[in-house]
Amino acid sequence: MNWYAIFAIYVLFWVISAFVVLPFGIRTPDETGEALLKGQADSAPSNFRPGVVAFRATLLSAALFGIYYANYVEGWVTLERWTHIG
């Protein structure tokens, strides 16, 4: 596997991980007791911290990519094992 493929697959894992960890730890103004600003949606987060989301996404994507790459090298799960053609 070349470096371009490794980078591209890791970026895909990171983006998916970012969407997975995005809702964790988010609180609405109703939960924190803050007043809503004019025009603010009730569901808008009041404590969004993108650095924490990026850190969590990096940890999760590194773990998932590590499992993916180990499977690529070791061949634990392959298409031939899951299809019974012929």
- Tens of pLDDT, residue by residue over 24-55, are 999 988 888 888 889 988 888 988 999 999 99
Q: What confidence score (pLDDT) does residue 1 get?
A: 86
* Tokens encoding 69: 């790459």
DSSP letter string, the chain: --HHHHHHHHHHHHHHHHHHHTTTT---HHHHTPPPPTT--TT--SS--HHHHHHHHHHHHHHHHHHHHHHHHH-SS-HHHH----
The answer to whether the CB of 36 falls within 8 A of the CB of 29 is yes
Angle value at C-alpha 82, between 80 and 83, nearest 5 degrees: 70
Would you state the pLDDT for residue 43? 86
Q: Which domain holds residue 17?
A: 3-82
Q: pLDDT band for position 77 (50/70/90)?
A: confident
Total of domains in the chain: 1
